[in-house]
Amino acid sequence: MNQRATPNVLDAFMKPASIAIIGLSRSAIGSPVSIHTTLVDLGYPGRIHIVNPNMGAVPGASVCRTIPELPEPVDLAIISVERALVPGTLEACAARGIGAAIVITQGFADSDAVGAGLQAEMRAIVARTGMRIIGPNTVGVVNAAARFSSSFIEVAADDLPVGQVAQSGFLMMGHHLVTNEKAGFCMAVDLGNACDVSLADVLRHYEAEPAVSVIECHAEAIDDGVAFMDLARRITRQKPVVMLKAGRTEAGQAAVASHTGNVAGKARVAEAALRQSGVILAENAEELRLFSKSLATFGAMKGRRVGIMSFSGGGAVLAIDALDRAGLELATLSPATIARLKHLFPDWMEVTNPLDIWIPVARDLDTAFPLVMQALQDDEGVDAVLCIYCSYNLPKYARFDAAGHIRDLSAARRDKPVACWSYGQDIEGFTRRIEERRSAIVYPRLDDAARALAVLAGRAEQVARGAAAPAGGGPDLSAARRAAGAILDRAAAAGTGYLFTEAFEILEAYGLPPVPWTVVRDDDAADPPAAGLRAPLCLKIDSPDILHKSDVGGVALGLGGGEALAQGICALRATVARNVPGARIRGVVVQEMAARGTEVMIGMMRDPSFGPCIVFGTGGIHAEITDDFAFRVAPLSRQEAREMIAETRVARLLAGARGARPADLDALADALVRVSRIAADHPAIREIDLNPVFAGPDGLHLVDARFLLDGHGAA
Amino acid sequence: MNQRATPNVLDAFMKPASIAIIGLSRSAIGSPVSIHTTLVDLGYPGRIHIVNPNMGAVPGASVCRTIPELPEPVDLAIISVERALVPGTLEACAARGIGAAIVITQGFADSDAVGAGLQAEMRAIVARTGMRIIGPNTVGVVNAAARFSSSFIEVAADDLPVGQVAQSGFLMMGHHLVTNEKAGFCMAVDLGNACDVSLADVLRHYEAEPAVSVIECHAEAIDDGVAFMDLARRITRQKPVVMLKAGRTEAGQAAVASHTGNVAGKARVAEAALRQSGVILAENAEELRLFSKSLATFGAMKGRRVGIMSFSGGGAVLAIDALDRAGLELATLSPATIARLKHLFPDWMEVTNPLDIWIPVARDLDTAFPLVMQALQDDEGVDAVLCIYCSYNLPKYARFDAAGHIRDLSAARRDKPVACWSYGQDIEGFTRRIEERRSAIVYPRLDDAARALAVLAGRAEQVARGAAAPAGGGPDLSAARRAAGAILDRAAAAGTGYLFTEAFEILEAYGLPPVPWTVVRDDDAADPPAAGLRAPLCLKIDSPDILHKSDVGGVALGLGGGEALAQGICALRATVARNVPGARIRGVVVQEMAARGTEVMIGMMRDPSFGPCIVFGTGGIHAEITDDFAFRVAPLSRQEAREMIAETRVARLLAGARGARPADLDALADALVRVSRIAADHPAIREIDLNPVFAGPDGLHLVDARFLLDGHGAA
């Protein structure tokens, strides 16, 4: 992630006073598929220079044969020469004093080894000259206010205060949910292969850009997750960031790798990390646009209680299902609201939420409709209005057209979002009329409306919490860090790749002692020093060559002390030696079996982008089928640890199912924080697996631990 | 569910030769909101009679003052008089020889007690006169081919071979996903409160109607689930049935109750039963339409392998995510396909699925586009084509317009569905041109396209299986039925509401013996007859007043035999007597504790609509957090039992996790079949709860059983 960017570094790309188009063919003048045509259509007010040795005169542009002949060092070069010529062209631009270039040409890290080599050359030019590059493999930028775009296909000029940044151009081309939509953003950047200007650079630009109040991202891979999280945490305190993370499946990730030349982070870790840093996640391209539009349109939604007014009883039932799925609530109308509306309805109709407005509206639209909507807006128990209405053909059904009321009433009270859904024969016209003042939105589907309202409510909650705070404070573990470092150095010196007893020692150093244990080395076998341990006991083989001990007979349970223990140790060693010939046996761990509580697991893995990630969830054999895991990037705050526990299903068992005493959740949260510190303190530890951990009312009982070290494969 | 219907019974509603409109105001003539106007606009060819004492002459219609004065006994009366007048109007219609009526008026079982009483009167008129009624609280019907509708709002005439039946009128009003859509069906019925003509009646009509090849349902409640399942099993062998089940949440169900005057069945049972009978479930109104349209447009989709051609690499990545979510596969292109296409792409581009067609199309659309699509259509490893393409404004970008190719190539080879998704500035026009020949569909979202293709593949699999077969055959359990009947009679005579030891006996009679057990009654306490049981043993209190034994100290584990057992029994009785003063203690069950295996649960509950429903899933304490349950309506076939096991997550443990031996799945499936027979044979048993059942390699170990009898509440 490039750190040189300043908030205004992208100004040369977004509002250049002069540009050079390099690689424009003669046939592109006047052709619809042409950057030049796009600029003419937008009315770009800057100076256009075309570099082409064979081009004749072009009205409104200066033409020159070569880059050195350019009459001025333009703000921005737009390059679409064939790929082999790109590095030379960039060098020439730098030599002419041009500080920014958009490279449209394809066939770099998105393709083969030759292309990857060319992209490396481009990075070298950036490093050497300080020139900034967007692309290659990009459509470039659009900025409606500056009437500028590098797109060779027309783009719509819109003033919605949404800034878009994407790893693909298709979102910039417009993706119109209903045909009256314009672009859906006021400025956009297609990062392409991102050889220089990165997602973070564009985010910083939008952070400082007053025209942007909502940031919309499409990302297939996030290169430096740690830096991204820091940045996202900061930005989301001021402006909401909505992201569509593409390439979420294994197959999708493979395609991402070939598409952008990057490797996508593991999808679930990335999603957890993005949420942790305050980013709002969209499920698909449509949600990306609808969430952004909603955040740019509406003020805060103070709670999750929704009042429904529907022209159709059947539609209202579907709306309730949608609210429920989105985690919203059906508002309870106040007695005052009911009293205010009662006279509109026949005696036999109950006045309740959802309000079935067919009869009042059929009697007198212009009296009933505004009264109902205003009553919902005025009710303190209603945080947003969901309005279902038929979109009739006009002028035939002008008597039933509520669009003007919805537009004006929503504009009059912007503190309560008015979300609409429509059926019927002119949804397009109905939507256009309602959205004229950008005060209400007609959503294509009820689920869209509900999920967008949930995003508004969630954003308000996020702002109230002070956005996502990074981890800080916590216990002083500097001594633990030193002690663990010494243990790891010893293991490294011995060439050990997997830690068992050393893991127990590191956990002890970090204040997480396992259930009482000792280790019997060869010499002690005849007289095991386990006198201090209380039976029943279990035995576990200690071998650097055996990761899954029970699979090879390396675990024995339920032993007494004394002679039985000595015999058990002999038997265990013999069994393992038989099952894994040649395994180095360092000894046998003897441990108490008193652990009681709910089985959970605590783990850590390192994501190539986001770094150490803590995993918590259902443990034991059910871990495999419950798929009940919460993820967070380390280090964790106590608050984050508590949140990740609460988001698992095993939390219900920990709270005390069937009258059982609840587990000690403070101890559990503390353990998660401490494990996250082990992970943050010791990059040499690649993976941690504590499973099962028994979480009881009396605290945690750690019975097993596996640490894998860097550079060693799993057994 | 009315059984009198014959396949043509609804012809009077759908294609009446003559109608009487009763309740039409004078102002409705020429008004846009008027049945009369709708009929005039549609060009209804039948005879229209208007009954109104104050109406003047109406061109094209006969007017009379009263029903007896009607010049002919019309095929159909359409009634919108105020609710109190409805029964009298229906009586007069019957007296005039009219056999069918649509009652549009609201305010019956959908409202208050007065309305419910009026609806009961209507049902009595149906029973007495044989008249058939659609409604009340309905918009009625539309049949485009007959140019007939009872709607007072205009409806679109469409020839898509979809028949719609709904419990609400809004779906009939049109619900247009893109603005060029017409109705989306060729005929539709709004059941309203369904006082007579039911969902089943309309399904039977569409079953026999040649113009309908796909049936689309919106249902809030299904009254007689058992009869519905029989009917759906039969119909879905011939025609696909797609259903949107509304009121799926608790809140939604409450609204359904007030909306239609019916009580919705429990959502999950209903969904399982609908799938079991071959119905395709839609998640929302948009899916209902898109699935129906897809089934009506495309031929069979032979497998789940999808070839993607995309104008945008970024779009292709999103498409892969969508396919994965929908359970589809990315096709592997054959070497022949790759060889055929290689020359279209630059050397540095790999020719693989997804195919990024930007460069070939930019070079020469009319050569490259058809070649790519045909190559995918010809590849035997590709079952459907997903095409992502930008919808450009025309005529400006005519050079890039692929709509004609998509339309013609999909029409030429209808054995492979062509699903499209588009972005850009004229999705409407692009869609209209592609869908002209009804050979391809442009889906509003990639997830829609993927889910619709999955429905097509699922439908082909369903047809191949011979549609959903009802249960049949199975073990001869007539002796068991008699034995269990005697046990239940005994319990009923004793006034017992909850069975424990009797449940053990019934299970034994049905060939499902629990783990060896005996019961120690008062008299035996000093000398327990448990000699035949092997320690360790457990004790469970047997009391008709105690349903949850362990909550009151009514369970003791790990006892030896002899004196310890006798003492344990005394202690258990004393504990329970202390904790539940006054509880009737019938004895103490002594049982072996040898059970080993994976904990599962087998249950049965009775749904008010669908009857006995079997539940299988994760057992023990994890049942509460895994929410891992499969549902099926009883009785079950062996095949259905195996399917329900396979659909749970605990199936992965049963298959033998971590090298454990797999559980005996035949024994488990057999047990589900036998429990389903107990449920089917004995309606007096309201609920069965076998939890946990240990499923091991050596068969099942039933350790506990609770049967609740009808008329008794849960303790």
Rounded mean pLDDT, A243-262:
60
Which pLDDT score is estimated for B69? 96
Rounded mean pLDDT, A134-140:
96
Q: Say whether the peptide bond before residue A513 is cis (omega within 30 degrees of 0).
A: no
- More reliable by pLDDT, A498 or A366: A366
Among A49-58, A529-538, A558-567, B262-271, the minimum mean pLDDT is found in B262-271
Rounded mean pLDDT, B580-600:
89
Question: For an interface test with A, which of B177, B190, B308, B320 has the most A Cβ atoms less than 10 Å from its Cβ?
Answer: B320
Banded pLDDT at A10 (limits 50, 70, 90): very high
CB contact under 8 A, B621 and A400: no
Q: Compute the 3-state secondary structure of chain B and give helix, strand, coil in percent, each to the nearest 5.
A: 40, 20, 40
Of A320, A445, A652, the CB nearest to B625: A652
Which pLDDT score is estimated for B595? 74
Alpha carbon distance A535, A521 (integer Å): 20
Which pLDDT score is estimated for A393? 87
Distance from CA of A445 to the nearest CA of B (A): 7
- The amino acid sitting at B62 is S
Q: How big is the A-B interface in CB pairs under 8 Å? A: 272
Q: Is the pLDDT of residue A686 over 60?
A: yes
- More reliable by pLDDT, A547 or B674: B674
Q: Is the pLDDT of residue A6 over 60?
A: no
CB A245 within 8 A of CB A281: yes
Which pLDDT score is estimated for B393? 86
Radius of gyration of the CA atoms of chain A, in A: 32
Chain-wide mean pLDDT for chain B? 90
Banded pLDDT at A527 (limits 50, 70, 90): low
Rounded mean pLDDT, B229-243:
95
Burial class from Cβ neighbours inside 10 Å (0-12, 13-18, 19+) for residue B267 reads middle
CB B400 within 8 A of CB B365: yes
Residue % of chain A over a pLDDT of 70: 93
pLDDT digits (tens, 9 = 90+) for B102-142: 999 999 998 899 999 999 999 999 999 999 999 999 999 99
CB contact under 8 A, B390 and A111: no
Contacts of B198 (CB under 8 A, 6+ apart): B1, B2, B191, B223
pLDDT digits (tens, 9 = 90+) for A420-470: 999 988 888 999 999 999 999 999 999 999 999 999 999 999 998 875 555
Banded pLDDT at A253 (limits 50, 70, 90): low
Q: Is the pLDDT of residue A2 over 50?
A: no
Among A353-362, A517-526, B665-674, the minimum mean pLDDT is found in A517-526
Which pLDDT score is estimated for A261? 33
Q: Is the pLDDT of residue B15 over 80?
A: yes
Which residues of chain A does B244 touch, with a Cβ-Cβ cutoff of 8 Å? 318
Q: Is the pLDDT of residue A265 over 70?
A: no
Q: Is the pLDDT of residue A511 over 70?
A: yes
CB contact under 8 A, A653 and B621: yes
Rounded mean pLDDT, B523-551:
78
pLDDT digits (tens, 9 = 90+) for A180-198: 678 899 999 999 999 999 9
Task: Report in angstroms the alpha-carbon separations of A511 from A615, A678, B159, B302, B626.
Answer: 19, 11, 74, 60, 32
Distance from CA of A259 to the nearest CA of B (A): 6
Which pLDDT score is estimated for A481? 95
pLDDT digits (tens, 9 = 90+) for A610-619: 999 999 999 9
Which pLDDT score is estimated for A206? 96
Q: How far from the centroid of its chain's Cα atoms is residue B44's Cα?
A: 35
Q: How far from the centroid of its chain's Cα atoms is residue A606's Cα?
A: 17
- The amino acid sitting at A179 is T
Burial class from Cβ neighbours inside 10 Å (0-12, 13-18, 19+) for residue B240 reads buried
Among A473-482, B144-153, B168-177, B247-256, the minimum mean pLDDT is found in B247-256
Q: Is the pLDDT of residue A308 over 90?
A: yes
Which residues of chain A does B363 touch, with a Cβ-Cβ cutoff of 8 Å? none
Chain-wide mean pLDDT for chain A? 90
Rounded mean pLDDT, B546-552:
83
Banded pLDDT at B713 (limits 50, 70, 90): very low
E strand or H helix that includes residue A120: helix A113-129
Among A56-65, A248-257, B498-507, B666-675, the minimum mean pLDDT is found in A248-257
Banded pLDDT at B466 (limits 50, 70, 90): confident
Banded pLDDT at B4 (limits 50, 70, 90): very low
Alpha carbon distance A369, A253 (integer Å): 50
Question: For an interface test with A, which of B137, B151, B447, B622 has the most A Cβ atoms less than 10 Å from its Cβ?
Answer: B622
Strands of A176-330, DSSP E: 187-190, 214-219, 241-245, 280-282, 305-310, 329-330
Which pLDDT score is estimated for B109? 92
Distance from CA of B297 to the nearest CA of A (A): 22
User: Among B294, B356, B350, which Cα is nearest to B326's?
Assistant: B294
CB contact under 8 A, B313 and A259: yes
CB contact under 8 A, A348 and B107: yes
What ipTM is given for this predicted complex? 0.90
Which pLDDT score is estimated for A471? 52
Alpha carbon distance B72, B50 (integer Å): 12
Banded pLDDT at B524 (limits 50, 70, 90): low
Contacts of A145 (CB under 8 A, 6+ apart): A15, A159, A186, A187, A211
Distance from CA of B259 to the nearest CA of A (A): 6
Which pLDDT score is estimated for A195? 96
Is residue A315 classed as helix, strand or coil in its secondary structure?
Answer: helix
Which pLDDT score is estimated for B564? 82
Q: Is the pLDDT of residue A528 over 70?
A: no
Residue % of chain B over a pLDDT of 90: 68
Which residues of chain B does A33 touch, with a Cβ-Cβ cutoff of 8 Å? 362, 397, 399-400
- Please name the residue of chain B whose CA is at the shortest distance from the CA of residue A311: B170
Question: For an interface test with B, which of A622, A629, A694 has the most B Cβ atoms less than 10 Å from its Cβ?
Answer: A622
Q: Which residues pair with B217 in a beta bridge?
A: B165, B243
Which pLDDT score is estimated for B234? 95
Q: Is the pLDDT of residue A384 over 80?
A: yes
Q: List, as one string, the DSSP characters of A567-622.
A: HHHHHHHHHHHHHSTTPPP-EEEEEE----SEEEEEEEEEETTTEEEEEEEE-GGG
Q: Is the pLDDT of residue A525 over 60?
A: no
pLDDT digits (tens, 9 = 90+) for B630-684: 999 998 999 999 999 999 999 999 998 766 789 999 999 999 999 999 999 999 9
Task: Report in angstroms the alpha-carbon separations of A59 from A28, A47, A55, A63, A568.
Answer: 13, 12, 12, 10, 94
Distance from CA of A688 to the nearest CA of B (A): 20
Q: Is the pLDDT of residue B180 over 80?
A: no
Burial class from Cβ neighbours inside 10 Å (0-12, 13-18, 19+) for residue B460 reads middle
- More reliable by pLDDT, B551 or B431: B431
